[in-house]
Structure formats: structure tokens, C-alpha cells
Amino acid sequence: MTTLPTPGVAVFDLDGTIVDTPRAIVESFTAALAAFGTELPAPAEIRATIGLPLEQAVGKLLGVAADDPRTGEGVRRYQAHFREHILPRAAELLFPGARDGLTALSERGAALAVATSKHYASADALLSAAGIRDLFRVVVGADQVTHPKPHPESGHAVLTACALPAERAVMVGDTTHDLLMAKACGMRSIAVTYGVHSLPELRAAGPTWIAGTFDEVTALLTPLFR
């Protein structure tokens, strides 16, 4: 395995990669959309939008444009439900091995970053509620870029903040959006199979490595930060 020069940066997606939130996201979307009195989308349909910016996901599920007033109302209702019902459970929603793995990588001198489709405030709140915010040097939310994942802008924002070239970064994510962003940036990537997208979908996006648990992610990254 090629050694990543130190310092390097490990860039993580958030939902479905560090925090086991897909089920909670479905719960929050269902509660938010119920207020519109229309037929609720199936859980699988909601789950398929994970990884998209919130406005796009809500608009798609409501069948309206992202700038439609109903989309804005759906976003507000979703965020309120997530804040009230999911954030208090954040620490227990961390994937097994995530806290210890991230801490170990940080102690080895790796810079840690998050590139997420969440808004920055929501990502910051979730990481803080989970008790791991201080481990991350950089957090880039979808509202901080013009073009969210899979566009490379989020990845470039992390690289700029860390003053590092792409060859000294590895992206870790559970969706093709993460992997395609990494490829567009020139980063290597680790696809995790315990999140949203299936193994065939992930393989099709061409990750450098594949991991089935967060412990495996840590094992893959650790030799890169010697």
C-alpha cells in the first residue's frame, strides 16, 4: 500500500459513513412530509435521496421544484424534527468503531475533515451532539458550495482549507456521490458497504478500496499516516 505523506487528510461523508442516520432520516422525512396531507413516499424512496442536498431531496419527494415554497416548508419541518428527535440520540448512532477509529487517526497526525450533503449548521450540530466535533479540522456543508457532491467543489474546499494536494487525501463514503466526487478531485477513496448504496453501485463508481466496517476503514487508513 502506498504511504500517504504526512500530514494528509482523511475526508469523511457523515450520514451512513460516521453516523448511522439513514433510518433516522427516513423517520424525519416521513414526519415532515406527513404535514402536507399527500401520500407519503415509501421508506425505500426516501432512502434513495440520502446523499442529495436537503432541498433537492425534499423537492424530489414532494414532486415540486427545489425553489417551490413547499420545499422550503418541508426543509424547515424536516430540520425541526431532526433537531428535536434525532440529535439527542447522536452519540448512540455512531457506527461501531467510529469514535475510537477517528481518535486513533487524529492521534497519528492525520487531518480529519467532513464533506457532507447536509447544511453546515446541521452537520456541526450532529457532530457536536455525537461528541466528536473537535476531531475534525474542516467541515464542508452543501450550503457552503455552489455545486454539492458529486461535483468536486466540496473536495476542493477541503483540500484548500488543509493546504494539501489531492494525492495526500482519501475520501471515505457510503454513496456513489462521495466516490465520484473523490475521483473528480483526484483523491483516492474508500467505499463503505454498511451505508446507503449497494456494493454493486459502489463498485461501479470505482473506489480505491472497499470496507465493510468502520474498523476496516481505520485499518486501511492507519498505514497511510505513519
Domain boundaries, the chain: 9-20+94-225, 22-89
The CATH code belonging to domain 9-20+94-225 is 3.40.50.1000
pLDDT surpasses 70 at 4: no
The superfamily (CATH) of domain 22-89 is: Putative phosphatase; domain 2 (1.10.150.240)
**Residues 114, 139: contact at Cβ < 8 Å?**
yes
Task: Give φ, ψ of 9 to 5 degrees.
Answer: -130, 135
Residue among 152, 161, 215, 158 nearest 185 (CA): 152
Q: Answer whether 9-20+94-225 and 22-89 agree in fold.
A: no
| Contact (Cβ atoms closer than 8 angstroms) between residue 201 and residue 81 | no
**pLDDT of amino acid 39:** 87
Q: Decide if pLDDT at 91 tops 70.
A: yes
CB-CB contact of 29 with 21 (8 Å): no
Residue with cell string 433537531: 83
Residues forming the active site: 13, 15
Element (H, E) at 102: helix 98-107
pLDDT band with cut points at 50, 70 and 90 for residue 221: very high
Cell reading at 70: 413547499
Give me the pLDDT at residue 7, please: 67
At 11-50, the pLDDT tens digits run 999 999 999 988 888 889 899 999 888 888 899 899 888 8
* 159 vs 2, more confident: 159
| pLDDT attached to residue 3 | 46
What gap in Å lies between CA 33 and CA 220, rounded to an integer? 40
The confidence score (pLDDT) of residue 1 equals 42
pTM of the model: 0.86
Over residues 157-170, the pLDDT tens digits come to: 999 999 999 999 99
Residue 122 has pLDDT above 80, yes or no: yes
pLDDT in tens, 59-74: 999 999 888 899 999 9
Q: Which amino acid is at 130?
A: A
